[in-house]
Chain A
Amino acid sequence: MLGLGDFSIFAVYVLCVLSAIACVVYGIFNWNKGADK
């Protein structure tokens, strides 16, 4: 698993990347929402 010894370390490595991707996906899907003196 990516050469990482411990499953919890593999999990957190993947979680870090996934959470950054989640931020990008959220931004894309909500790009124009919320504009609504």
Chain B
Amino acid sequence: MVDTNLIIKIVIIVIYLGVVAVLGIMGYRRTKTTSDYLLGGRKIHPAVMALSYGATFISTSAIVGFGGNAGVFGFSLLWLTFLNIFLGVFIAFIFFGRRTRRIGHNLNAHTFPEFLGKRYQSKFIQKFAGLVIFIFMPIYTAAVMIGVASFLQSGLGVDYNLALLVFAVIVAVYVLFGGMKGVMYTDAFQGSLMLVGMTVLIIAVYSKLGGITSAHEQLTALSNNVAVTEQTAGLQAGGFQGWTSMPALFSQYWWVVVSSIVMGVGIGVLAQPQLVVRFMTVKSDREINRAVPIGGVFILLMTGVAFVVGALSNVWFFNNQGLISVAAAGSTDSIIPMFLSGFMPEWFVLVFLVILLAAGMSTISSQFHAIGTAVGRDIFKVKEDDSKKGMLITRLGVLVAIVLTIVLAYVLPTIWDGAIAISTGLFFGLCCAAFLPMYFAALYIKKMTKTAAISGMIAGFSSSLLWMMFVHSKESAVLKVCNLIFGVNTLSAEGSMLQYVDPIIISLSLSIIVTIIVQIFSKKQFGNEHIEKCFEGMKKK
């Protein structure tokens, strides 16, 4: 008996991969110089830039993982959506993006570490930032790859190891040969698919639950249902007050939602190397202005829809099974897939599999590119040129990054399973604490010194790592350093809320304070010529 569903799934995926291949080839044919390979020749269309930025930011785990978290934390996660739109798009594009593009172009910088290194005339900053990307981003990338391979395994019934290998090789080929153009063209296609899929999903969910207000009222009423309060007893101990309420102030859940999810990801996005580099791919401020609307709407329809659907899934699960989402699905990661399988028509479930595949591929391709360019451009750069040799070295860097990540994706779950769960927060937190203060200063403070920049970077990076190793229990229990030295998972007192305070709160604050103090006491280090070159073409305030 032929499984019709399986044939349809395979046909849809083959068509999808066919389009990806065509776009990858298009990127390859249009890549002639190192600038093409690293920055798309600085002439990328604003719509492609905005969709690529959004699709890179939103991975499978943002839809399924965070959407599943909304099944527990409810609408409180919408604060992250707000920060993602306001900080991650509006502020990032207008106040960070335009200056990044201009200064990057003035200094002929092609990567985020190179941008910081040239702005502060420091090889150390460039190599340090390159090493942070090279060491920590592959763990984050491997986690996304593992998530996608798991979906292919459950969705198509294919062997996990085979799914991981085939998926990685497909992405690797178009990143390796197509460069930034290949990555951004495919990102834009994948982002468009995600946009359509999530729009259909939110319309279906709200209309099936009787409209916006009716759906929300059902969810609010659910919290007071006696059968539900029995199931949420454990959650209430953590500070849960219902899916349409914030967790109790300063409770365990409040700290998790506010510091780790909302602040950690919401602020962390501003200093992500794979996102910042997108600003340097367009030719003028006009392109960035035109990208803002697409970016804002895209993020609203990605995280906003995922969080609303995750929270509202409780209504459907309770009406059909008498259980809340997390009890019915067994874990937060299973909430969205199980909800879609039961709630949406079969054809949509098939299409959604491709949407999740697109979300994963668009993130991974950009990560491969960022790791590869960190190796080939920032750590082992040979000399300043725009020749084929420069492109060959960068491509070799990308190849090293791809092989390293694939090996990690195979090995990591067997030797260090917990690493998958902490990888995203680890990378976001480290980048934000180490780079955000000096990145902001690079754009707005002409008198900023190299000494202050390096001091802030080291303070942010080291305090973030120390807080993760010894205090924040989510990471310290996985990293095991604290247990090895002190015999406990965290140095915070038993029952103390300190163990739930995200590293970004501590390390970013410390990084800013150190940067300011050192700046006050350090002497002017850059000549007027360098500063004028950096800020050439900008209006004097």
Residues of A within 8 A of B (CB): 2-6, 8-9, 12-13, 15-17, 19-20, 22-24, 26-28, 30-36
Contacts and interface: CB of A to CB of B under 8 A. Distances in A.
B214 A26 contact: no
A33 B287 CA distance: 9
Contacts of B82: 12, 15-16, 19
Contacts of B289: 26-27, 30-31, 33-34
B328 to A, nearest CB: 22
Given A2-B216, A19-B82, 15 more contacts: A3-B219, A3-B244, A13-B78, A16-B82, A20-B85, A20-B297, A23-B85, A23-B297, A24-B293, A27-B292, A27-B294, A28-B293, A31-B290, A35-B284, A35-B285
18 contacts: A3-B212, A3-B214, A4-B75, A4-B216, A5-B223, A8-B246, A16-B78, A16-B82, A16-B300, A19-B90, A19-B296, A22-B296, A23-B292, A24-B297, A26-B94, A31-B289, A33-B289, A35-B286
B122 to A, nearest CB: 29
A20 B303 CA distance: 12
Contact of A23 (B76, B218, B295): B295
Contacts of B216: 2-4
B523 to A, nearest CB: 36
Interface in B167-217: 212-217
A16 B304 contact: yes
A6 B246 contact: yes
B235 to A, nearest CB: 15
Contacts of A17: 300
Contact of B296 (A13, A15, A24): A24
A13 B293 CA distance: 19
A15 B414 CA distance: 43
Contacts of A19: 82, 85-86, 90, 296, 300
Nearest to A21: B296
A8 B471 CA distance: 30
Describe B's contact surface by its main secondary structure: helix
Contacts of B64: none
A12 B96 CA distance: 24
Contacts of B292: 23, 26-27, 30
A9 B78 CA distance: 8
Given A9-B244, A13-B78, A32 B286 contact: yes
A5 to B, nearest CB: 4
- Chain B interface bracket (under 10, 10 to 19, 20 to 34, 35 or more): 35 or more
Contacts of A2: 212-213, 216
Contact of B290 (A5, A8, A12, A27): A27
Nearest to A35: B286
B220 A23 contact: no
Contacts of B75: 4, 9, 12-13
Contact of A16 (B85, B98, B218): B85
A34 B220 CA distance: 46
B508 interface: no
Nearest to A9: B75
A37 to B, nearest CB: 10
B372 interface: no
B270 to A, nearest CB: 16
Nearest to A26: B292
Contacts of B297: 20, 23-24
Contacts of B296: 19-20, 22-24
Contact of A5 (B214, B242, B286, B294): B242
A8 B75 CA distance: 10
Contacts of A33: 285-286, 289
User: Which of A4, A17, A24, A26 is most buried by chain B, counting CB atoms within 10 A of its CB?
Assistant: A4
B280 to A, nearest CB: 15
B50 to A, nearest CB: 10
Nearest to B288: A34
B51 interface: no
Interface string B61-80: 00000000000001110110
A5 B220 contact: yes
Contacts of A16: 78, 81-82, 85, 300, 304
Given A3-B220, A9-B75, A26 B293 contact: yes
Nearest to B241: A6
B39 interface: no
